[in-house]
Amino acid sequence: MASHKAGNSGDPQGVEDALAKASAASHFDTYASTVGTIALTGLPRDMAPLDKAVAGADVMTGLGVGIPTLDIASKLCSDTAIQEPTRRQQCTSLTNHLADEGTSVFDVLVAVTLARRLGLPKDLLVKLQREQRSESMALTAHNPWRYTNDGSGLNLLPDFGCDTVRGYDDLLDALLATGGNQRAALATVAGTLQGAK
- Residue 92: per-residue pLDDT: 92
- Residue 118: per-residue pLDDT: 95
Render each residue's pLDDT in the chain as its tens digit; 197 residues. 444 444 445 666 766 666 555 545 445 455 455 556 666 666 777 877 777 777 766 666 555 444 566 776 778 889 999 999 988 998 899 899 989 988 888 888 889 999 999 999 999 999 999 999 988 888 777 777 666 667 666 666 676 677 777 887 888 888 888 888 889 988 988 877 655 54
- Alpha helices (H) in 102-181, listed in sequence order: 105-118, 122-141, 162-177
Burial class, 72, CB count within 10 angstroms (exposed 0-12 / middle 13-18 / buried 19+): buried
Record the pTM.
0.67
- Residue 162: per-residue pLDDT: 77
With left for phi above 0 and alpha for psi between -120 and 50, is residue 159 left, alpha or beta?
alpha
- Residue 9: per-residue pLDDT: 52
- Residue 7: per-residue pLDDT: 47
